[in-house]
Structure 1
Amino acid sequence: MRTSAKAQLPLLRRCVAVLAVALSVLVTGCADGGGTTASGSTPSPADASARAAAARKQLATNSLVPLKGGTPAPKLPVTVDSSDGRKVTVEDASRILPLNGGVAEIVFTLGLGDRVVGRDITATFKEAKKLPLATKAHDVSAESVLSLEPTVVLADTDTGPAEAIDQIRDAGIPVVVLDPATELADVATRTTRIAEALGVPAAGKALNRRIGDELAAARAGVPEGSRPKVAFLYMRGSAAVYLIGGKGSGADSLVKAAGAVDAGTASGLGRPFTPITSEALVKAQPDVILMMSKGLDSVGGVDGLMDVPGIRETPAGLDRRVVDLEDGVLLSFGPRTPLVIDILVDRIHAK
């Protein structure tokens, strides 16, 4: 799991932020679909539900929505900072290999998907499905990477093993390493860095504007006065992995953006993930449980989840309020993240 997040903003700052978001949406509108009503008024619950329905429909296609305006032409060479402390010069972006699913989403959405020659196992969206795998499990195979003859490789600090990355570099291929994206603020930073490394900075700015507008519209749909507590549970029943998210889980940032309170963080869990106990669940008292779809399936769906000790003693368990989203999307922190927020705003505030 990836870790890092910031503490929740005080209530006053949150209120100011919500007002600012609403004002931004009213003044600028929302690109590619909008978030206000036709008259420009604050979105109603019905508007939030409509956005969520559209988001679910788009996610069901498992495909990306590229930027408008055609394919950008990379302007190279460029020299960029790599998160492993190196300076990396990229001279050719004709054969791009992203070794991370979220990174691949950004590359494709920028309009450079026809230049991508392979994929990481976490790149599960439709456009990448037919590309050859360059990883096994979650480890990079240097031999597989080199066989694809990439002209630039995009990785992050979690990509490994280190020996494989070194072997790729020793073959003369530039490897740009990025910081992992673990909170909403990282989306813009990562998009900017990827676009700069591939010589299309203007496309990066355009994509950040689109994502920002979509996020603003989603957040503007948060019902006034609604602050449910949401617990993110990471489960893999077959492997006996049962964890509750806390500060830095990544999900805490999404929950906060959707106008809710991260139950794990609020109950004092200072680590990203803590083994689930009945006591921890009862203390967290979540109104809603958030999970990855495969994790929920691995414990037998909602019925099976209710049998996990402590679940039935929470408000979420009593009401069977469980929200699940596809594994490759929920914590991707990329161009599809606004769709995640649309769905969360609608489902976690539902009465």
Structure 2
Amino acid sequence: MRSRLPLLIAAVLVAALTGCTAPAATANPEQAASGSCPAAAQQLSDLPLVDDVRAATGGSTACLPNHAIAPVADTTAPKLPVTVTDAEGREVEVTDVDRILAIDISGTIASTVFALGMGDNVVGRDSSTTFDGTEDLPVVTKTGHSLNPEAILELAPTVILTDTTIGPKEVRQQLRDAGIPIVIVSDELRLETTDQLITEVASALGIPSRGEALSAQVEGDLDAALSEIAPVIPPDPADRARMLFLYVRGSANVYYIFGKDSGADALIESVGGIDVAGEIGWEGTKPVTAEALVAAQPDVLVMMTDGLESVGGIDGLIERVPAVAQTPAGVNRWVIDMADAEILSFGPRSPEIVRAIARALYAPASGATGETAE
């Protein structure tokens, strides 16, 4: 199941994105209007915490500071040529990294390249790569996350780093036939596979020592984030938030629960929540059923921002999926949303993503209206 999961998730995401219309509502209008992330720079301990994380009401948007990704301190020059065996078992020789194209469905590969200090060599981007420093790069995806071969060839990349979440595969082969080295990296995007992703990207670019340094840095930052969150997690498991990740696209009539081994479970558990999908034996991604929602009884729904907007917010979700109203999350309208390109992207931004979800859960500065601690 685990080996097929990224392909299944990608299929769900691509189908939904290509079928999207304009959002119907805004999940957190105040924050969307300001474009700000007021709590992003603050320690969780300095923020007002909800008294009962299971009984907060309203909505809370998790957000990352929109800053450029800082490169790792190691500046060792690439050692080329290098031959790597990619995630599909192909031997690929990379001789030139002056013009890099790093593309996938979540922007994770590009963020990794920038964190490795190779951002100045990147010549284009996918539509999910939106962090500071990438806004002027030409987009080479169309209709959601489909590769545009003409746009890619025009950029004359000397190496393409991608995975199987973006395609179609016929376009990847067309680019290979044009003589462009294409390295397929693993698409197992989870907190615990961040090191693997960094190693694969760094190896393909001939900078393994930078990869080692970045892996150590991310591991240290993630440990610091988990240490920051630990004191606010209720010591009694009965008091911890029961959380469920829903992926929805109203215009495409797509409603999925992300469960064990989807990446959502690790994110929920990292902030001290209980992944109720795993609790009821839900593995991977499956269509929503009323029986599953009622059995799970989540206190909090975790969703992508565009997905929540596509159904008109929590009220629209309840109208389309009435069983949501039979859960504590539905009764309290307790929803955490986060930008689609961020929430499950992991990679070098994993520590920031974990912190953002924790802030939205325990200290919902704008949106949720649970009573705050004195």
TM range (shorter): 0.7 to 0.9
Structure 2 CA distance for aligned equivalents of residues 57 and 233 of structure 1? 15
Match of residue 255, structure 1, among 265, 268, 273: 268
Contact 1:150 / 1:173 at 8 angstroms: preserved in 2? Answer: yes
Following TM superposition, by how much is the alpha carbon of 1:82 offset from its aligned partner in structure 2, in angstroms? 0.8
Q: CA 1:48/1:216 → structure 2, altered by over 3 Å: closer, same or farther?
A: farther
Q: CA 1:68/1:177 → structure 2, altered by over 3 Å: closer, same or farther?
A: closer
Deviates more, 1:278-287 or 1:303-312: 303-312
State the secondary structure of the residue aligned to 1:167.
helix
Q: CA 1:58/1:263 → structure 2, altered by over 3 Å: closer, same or farther?
A: closer
State the secondary structure of the residue aligned to 1:173.
coil
Contact 1:48 / 1:345 at 8 angstroms: preserved in 2? Answer: no
The answer to whether the aligner puts 1:337 opposite 2:343 as a matched pair is no
Deviates more, 1:318-327 or 1:224-233: 224-233
Match of residue 135, structure 2, among 125, 129, 139: 129
Following TM superposition, by how much is the alpha carbon of 1:119 offset from its aligned partner in structure 2, in angstroms? 1.1
Contact 1:119 / 1:133 at 8 angstroms: preserved in 2? Answer: yes
The answer to whether the aligner puts 1:105 opposite 2:117 as a matched pair is no
Contact 2:69 / 2:131 at 8 angstroms: preserved in 1? Answer: no
Residue in 1 aligned with 2:45? 46
Structure 1 CA distance for aligned equivalents of residues 254 and 218 of structure 2? 33
Structure 1 CA distance for aligned equivalents of residues 46 and 220 of structure 2? 16
Following TM superposition, by how much is the alpha carbon of 1:68 offset from its aligned partner in structure 2, in angstroms? 4.7
Structure 2 CA distance for aligned equivalents of residues 94 and 211 of structure 1? 25
Contact 2:94 / 2:205 at 8 angstroms: preserved in 1? Answer: yes
Deviates more, 1:298-307 or 1:142-151: 298-307
Residue in 2 aligned with 1:59? 64
Name the amino acid aligned to 1:281: L
Name the amino acid aligned to 2:177: D
Contact 1:73 / 1:200 at 8 angstroms: preserved in 2? Answer: yes
Residue in 2 aligned with 1:277? 289
Q: CA 1:3/1:57 → structure 2, altered by over 3 Å: closer, same or farther?
A: closer
Match of residue 94, structure 1, among 81, 98, 110: 98
The answer to whether the aligner puts 1:288 opposite 2:287 as a matched pair is no
Residue in 1 aligned with 2:32? none
Q: CA 1:144/1:65 → structure 2, altered by over 3 Å: closer, same or farther?
A: closer
Following TM superposition, by how much is the alpha carbon of 1:173 offset from its aligned partner in structure 2, in angstroms? 1.4
Name the amino acid aligned to 1:183: R
State the secondary structure of the residue aligned to 1:310.
helix
Structure 2 CA distance for aligned equivalents of residues 336 and 225 of structure 1? 29
Match of residue 149, structure 1, among 156, 176, 195: 156
Contact 2:222 / 2:351 at 8 angstroms: preserved in 1? Answer: yes
TM-score (norm 1): 0.80
Structure 2 CA distance for aligned equivalents of residues 58 and 327 of structure 1? 11
Structure 2 CA distance for aligned equivalents of residues 164 and 48 of structure 1? 48
Following TM superposition, by how much is the alpha carbon of 1:72 offset from its aligned partner in structure 2, in angstroms? 4.6
Following TM superposition, by how much is the alpha carbon of 1:47 offset from its aligned partner in structure 2, in angstroms? 5.5
State the secondary structure of the residue aligned to 1:66.
coil
Tell me the C-alpha RMSD between the 2 structures: 2.5
Structure 2 CA distance for aligned equivalents of residues 279 and 162 of structure 1? 37
Following TM superposition, by how much is the alpha carbon of 1:71 offset from its aligned partner in structure 2, in angstroms? 5.0
Following TM superposition, by how much is the alpha carbon of 1:104 offset from its aligned partner in structure 2, in angstroms? 0.5
Structure 1 CA distance for aligned equivalents of residues 306 and 63 of structure 2? 19
TM-score (norm 2): 0.75
Structure 2 CA distance for aligned equivalents of residues 261 and 149 of structure 1? 47
Q: CA 1:69/1:49 → structure 2, altered by over 3 Å: closer, same or farther?
A: farther
Structure 2 CA distance for aligned equivalents of residues 172 and 49 of structure 1? 56
Contact 1:134 / 1:141 at 8 angstroms: preserved in 2? Answer: yes
Residue in 1 aligned with 2:236? 225
State the secondary structure of the residue aligned to 2:215.
helix
Unaligned segments of structure 1, at least 5 residues: 5-42, 51-55
Structure 2 CA distance for aligned equivalents of residues 346 and 120 of structure 1? 28
Following TM superposition, by how much is the alpha carbon of 1:230 offset from its aligned partner in structure 2, in angstroms? 0.8
Residue in 2 aligned with 1:84? 88
Name the amino acid aligned to 1:225: D
Residue in 1 aligned with 2:5? 3
The answer to whether the aligner puts 1:309 opposite 2:322 as a matched pair is yes
Contact 2:248 / 2:254 at 8 angstroms: preserved in 1? Answer: yes
Q: CA 1:263/1:302 → structure 2, altered by over 3 Å: closer, same or farther?
A: same
Q: CA 1:247/1:98 → structure 2, altered by over 3 Å: closer, same or farther?
A: same
Structure 2 CA distance for aligned equivalents of residues 73 and 212 of structure 1? 23
State the secondary structure of the residue aligned to 1:117.
strand
Following TM superposition, by how much is the alpha carbon of 1:232 offset from its aligned partner in structure 2, in angstroms? 0.3
The answer to whether the aligner puts 1:184 opposite 2:191 as a matched pair is yes
Contact 1:72 / 1:112 at 8 angstroms: preserved in 2? Answer: no
Contact 2:72 / 2:115 at 8 angstroms: preserved in 1? Answer: no
Q: CA 1:218/1:329 → structure 2, altered by over 3 Å: closer, same or farther?
A: same
Structure 1 CA distance for aligned equivalents of residues 322 and 62 of structure 2? 34
The answer to whether the aligner puts 1:74 opposite 2:73 as a matched pair is no
Contact 1:282 / 1:310 at 8 angstroms: preserved in 2? Answer: yes
